[in-house]
Amino acid sequence: MADRKSTTSNFSKICGQNVKVKADTAEWNISYSGGRLFTCQPITAGQTIVFNLFGSGHVEFGLFCKDPEELMNVSSIENQNEFKYLQTTRVHKIGGKIHVICSDDGSKVTFRRDNQECCSNIDVDKKTWITANLLFGNITAQIENPYMCFHRIKGENINLTETKSKANLKTINPSTVCYIPYRLRTNDQLQLHLTPVKFDGRPPSVYFVKMAVSEYDPEIFMNNLKPIHCLEDLPVTIIPPEVCSSEGDIHVEICDNKVITKQSSLPEVVANTGIDVSRGFYCLFELYRVKLSCLRIGPALESNISSQNIPSSNLNGLSLSNLTNGLDQEDSHRITRTKSESQKGKFDQIFDIIEALEKEHCDKLEIREDFECVKCRLSEIKNKLSSSSIIHTQITESEIAMKIRENYSQLLICIDPLTLSDHLFQENMISFDNHQHVRNKWQVDPTNAKRDLLAMLMVRKLDKHVLRKVFTNCKQEHVHDILFPENAM
């Protein structure tokens, strides 16, 4: 390994809301989980609101002196002056009752549970709502007061009963997905270190890391598919988790299209990714009460090909021809060193140049999506050159993504997301959570509901015949014809 070097691998800043990223460390963070709740009415002078909690986990209580209806983003309330933290309580198995009591003159609110008690002064001239944040766990929160329930405004990870008197988390370990924003290839290695996050100075009884790989840049679907609660929400290949469930070092090695993981004295786990390793793939993680550090052992993260070799003026109109023309003019000596150099080597060097550009312009998501399209198209050309002509009935993720992008404006006008989402779910082409997300988003923001559904389609492998059947069943043949005019119904 003399020609390889060890480098610190930074985690991407694009991650789940329950992940705290700092350079080479990603840490499970209890500060936010999408489990925010409000009472449907403000508390009044002399009133006591009783919450019954059962299950296991942590719940945070606070005060909010602003109508929840005015919130643009529920997750932002902790940064607002109107929010005041009261108390965090731990619920274990039998749970318990929480009494939130407003004084007779309306100037003070008291939080009481068994022997726990804390008080906070409030402005008698302002209305004050009680807010609870289910941080994690299989907790159910219930309001026992007659004529009082939870507000319809809530966090993305909350399930409410029809009467809105009970609530729990959709996913008990929410929004803890993070990833390393560099492609890994054969012979690359990761040295991970897993440390449990302690509570009151004690490690949790259960903690682990799930690992997955994806051939596509996670930034695209991490930004487009929301809410993302766990790896199962994403188009990834999950590595068996048994190896990552105890404190210490975890060694990960990429060998052909396999990922080999080993921790301390446990036997190694070999997982077949099913991904073309010549393109490389990304590593994603789901954290459960742990801090994960990462040292990458392999080729330098920085490409040795300067992105300045391609004029920046080409970026706005990024295309395969722009990239290859730039290469022919200025970098041909890098790609065609000899006439006997393999096609594989040429494509790999083009990928290196694209990734160098990606890193330089990593803050521009629209351009990153264009880069991803170019890389997908290059892979298709490479595969066609290296394999016999076979007629495939399956459309790859990259092909459907490009067709949607090419016709995006037209699709945004004519698509009916509700019926399409229903039929996609019936055919197991999207998850229940994503199906519910589209329906819920439609009620408050129809245009973004369409965008989110199109984003879901862009990152899934869809069979052409099944997709045609879905469009027929939901009476949206015109959408199929826009995507596939050569096979119009």
Q: pLDDT tens digit string along 129-174?
A: 999 988 777 889 999 998 999 999 998 889 999 899 999 988 776 6
- Please check whether the two domains, 5-30+175-298 and 36-169, share a CATH topology: yes
480 vs 489: CA distance, rounded Å: 8
* Closest by Cα among 149, 189, 174 to 6: 189
| Overall fold of domain 394-487 | Death Domain, Fas (1.10.533)
Higher pLDDT, 190 or 175: 190
Task: Specify the pLDDT at position 52.
Answer: 92
Going by the DSSP 8-state scheme, the letter that residue 35 receives in this structure is -
Q: Is the pLDDT of residue 46 over 90?
A: yes
Which of the residue ranges 269-283, 352-366, 386-400, 474-488 would you say has the lowest mean pLDDT? 386-400
8 A C-beta contact, residue 33 and residue 175? yes
451 vs 411: CA distance, rounded Å: 9
Q: pLDDT tens digit string along 419-454?
A: 888 888 877 777 777 788 888 878 877 877 887 788
Residue 37 — pLDDT band, cuts 50, 70, 90?
very high
Check if CATH label 1.20.1440 holds for domain 36-169.
no
* Closest by Cα among 394, 393, 415 to 404: 415
Handedness of CA 345, 350, 353, 358 (dihedral sign): negative
Residue 432, amino acid: F
Q: Which CATH superfamily is domain 5-30+175-298 in?
A: SPRY domain (2.60.120.920)
**Six-digit token string for 238:** 């999950």
Question: Domain coordinates of the chain in residue numbers?
Answer: 5-30+175-298, 36-169, 307-386, 394-487
Q: Is the pLDDT of residue 479 over 60?
A: yes
Higher pLDDT, 175 or 295: 295
Task: Specify the pLDDT at position 6.
Answer: 47
Which of the residue ranges 192-206, 357-371, 377-391 would you say has the lowest mean pLDDT? 377-391
418 vs 438: CA distance, rounded Å: 7
